Structure 1
Amino acid sequence: MKERTYYYSDPVNDDFAGTKINTTELPSDYSYFPKTAIRRGFAFFLYHIFAAPIVLLLQLIVYGEKYVGRQKLKEYRKDGFFLYGNHTRCMGDAYCPGLLAWPKKAYIIAGMDAFSIKGIRRIVEDLGGVPLPNNVKGLRKFNQAIREHMDKCHIVTIFPESHIWPHYTGIRPLKASTFHYPAETGKPVFTFTTTWQKRKILPGSRTVVYVDGPFIPDMDLPIDKRKEKLRDQAFEAMTASAKNSNYEKNHFIYRPKDSVSE
């Protein structure tokens, strides 16, 4: 993959994932949790027995991935928590939370793009994907599902930057609203920041992922202030960890929307 220069005007909403998927709407009768024992058993096998070793090998071979601070998660795995990460790659970001959460399953909130490819939606679900509905009608069931995940002491992953910026080495602005669920449920927040660093021997870069936290919601504050405080803590931690990047493959240049295209 060659170096590229990306021009952006909106650091919150601009997306450089490069996917061209015709997204579908989430069915009104969609169930966020498998209803049958057979389906639950298949999901367990697919995730823990089949996919996990493959994912580990891919992260090591493709990215040379290393984790710093993963031990911070150990005492919180039993009761569940939220993982918040920066979004700089496609499949690598999807795999990373599972390795951090292991041996528990990491559930990942994702847009409908990931669930709109014919024939693989159920596989994405069984691997931990939680679809974020693209219509207002589905939000109520989605909100209930996230609360149920926390009641079940699950680990839920959120990418607050929302959109992929390939190999970006900074942290984009985070909306306080993306911290609604930990603020509401009182569950801890951990951040994981993917950094891009020069390989010592081989050419190119490797990824080093830094885990920070826990950040505990202050339940004495009003919920809006709670969200803002969590956002500020997460942003500060991720920004500090992102400074460990020392390899810049792609370049991102700000260009206002009304400027003349080059």
Structure 2
Amino acid sequence: MAERKFYYHHLTDDLVVSRQQDYQLPDNYSIFPTTSASKAWAKIIRLSGGLISLVYVRAIARIQIVGKEKLQLVSDQGYFIYGNHTQPFGDIVLPLSLVPWQNYYAIGAPANWGIPILGKLVLPYFALPVGQNLKQSGKLISAVTQVIQAKKTVVIYPEAHVWPYYTKIRPFTKTSMHFPVALHAPSFTMTTTYSRLHLGKRPRITVYIDGPFYPDRHLDKKQAQVQLHTQISAAMQRRAHLSNYQYYTYQRLV
């Protein structure tokens, strides 16, 4: 029997709301650390995150990762990873078990920067905030470009909001493919699935890596986004069908 039940009106609803949901970053914030102290702290945070990921993935959540070796096909260039957003904590640390701790960046909602401790001492050193106006959006574009050109990795959860243990892929916009198309960079999918264990109530977590997927340079940008969106969505949908256990249930309100 499911442990918790969520009610929603639309598949795009934000069901996990923090007290700082309306938090806004000032226009003069710096995405990357600029001082010697902040750069040193960034290394500490990243290295600590790698160790936490190792313990969490292997010993606590016991996540099985299938297809990790595919990432080596583009290890000499920057790339994107698209994942379904179903673990509030796990989705933060899981990618650190896939890519080197020096290379990991994730795009996140500004509300996360308002969370005590996490938003002040952790996120500023590996996360890239979504812009809330033209100036901030320009900062994000510049930051993502810099990361990819440095042959590092950007993780994107295109569904935007976390739905814990949700077993389907929620709709996401074609514009979420903007960056790989604009930067001619490859993408992978990282699909989290849930299956029943013989013992205990919590499900087995298996993560599937698929790709690489490349934008078609013969198409214009909008057409290339549509094509890449179709490929990314299809890969995630195919893997999501492997889930066979609902630990949490979701009911739509009429």
Say yes or no: TM over 0.5.
Answer: yes
Describe the SS at the equivalent of 2:181: helix
Letter of the 1:168 partner, please give it. Y
Letter of the 1:8 partner, please give it. Y
Matching residue of 1:36: 35
Is the 1:25–1:135 Cα contact (8 Å) retained in structure 2? no
**1:45 Cα deviation (Å)?**
2.8
Describe the SS at the equivalent of 2:162: coil
Is the 2:46–2:102 Cα contact (8 Å) retained in structure 1? no
1:113–1:137 CA distance, 2 compared to 1 (3 A): same
Letter of the 1:17 partner, please give it. V
CA RMSD of aligned residues (A): 1.9
Task: State how far apart, in whole Å, the 2-side matches of 1:122 and 1:136 are.
Answer: 26
Q: Which runs of 5+ in 1 are unaligned?
A: 257-262
Matching residue of 1:260: none
State which drifts further: 107-116 or 129-138.
129-138
Task: State how far apart, in whole Å, the 1-side matches of 2:49 and 2:174 are.
Answer: 33
Task: State how far apart, in whole Å, the 1-side matches of 2:29 and 2:133 are.
Answer: 13
Task: State how far apart, in whole Å, the 1-side matches of 2:239 and 2:133 are.
Answer: 35
Task: State how far apart, in whole Å, the 2-side matches of 1:164 and 1:123 are.
Answer: 19
Matching residue of 2:9: 9
Task: State how far apart, in whole Å, the 2-side matches of 1:243 and 1:111 are.
Answer: 28
Letter of the 2:10 partner, please give it. D
Q: What are the within-5 Å matches in structure 2 for residues 63-142 of structure 1?
A: 63-102=61-100, 104-120=102-118, 121-126=120-125, 128-142=126-140
Describe the SS at the equivalent of 1:101: coil
Task: State how far apart, in whole Å, the 2-side matches of 1:75 and 1:125 are.
Answer: 29
Task: State how far apart, in whole Å, the 2-side matches of 1:80 and 1:200 are.
Answer: 40
1:56-102 Cα distance to aligned partner (Å, 9 max, x none): 21233332211000000013133110000001120111111121113
**1:229 Cα deviation (Å)?**
0.7
Give the TM-score, by structure 1 length: 0.89
1:45–1:77 CA distance, 2 compared to 1 (3 A): farther
Matching residue of 2:211: 213
Is the 2:79–2:185 Cα contact (8 Å) retained in structure 1? yes
Letter of the 2:55 partner, please give it. L
Describe the SS at the equivalent of 1:238: helix
1:241–1:2 CA distance, 2 compared to 1 (3 A): closer
Is the 2:64–2:205 Cα contact (8 Å) retained in structure 1? yes
1:76–1:103 CA distance, 2 compared to 1 (3 A): farther
Give the TM-score, by structure 2 length: 0.92
Runs of 4+ in 1 over 3 A off after TM superposition: 200-203
Task: State how far apart, in whole Å, the 2-side matches of 1:82 and 1:46 are.
Answer: 22
Task: State how far apart, in whole Å, the 2-side matches of 1:104 and 1:201 are.
Answer: 37
Letter of the 1:5 partner, please give it. K
1:46–1:124 CA distance, 2 compared to 1 (3 A): same
Task: State how far apart, in whole Å, the 1-side matches of 2:113 and 2:76 are.
Answer: 29
Is the 1:6–1:251 Cα contact (8 Å) retained in structure 2? yes
Matching residue of 2:158: 160
Task: State how far apart, in whole Å, the 2-side matches of 1:95 and 1:85 are.
Answer: 13
Letter of the 2:23 partner, please give it. T
Task: State how far apart, in whole Å, the 1-side matches of 2:165 and 2:201 are.
Answer: 16
Is the 2:201–2:247 Cα contact (8 Å) retained in structure 1? no
Matching residue of 1:259: none
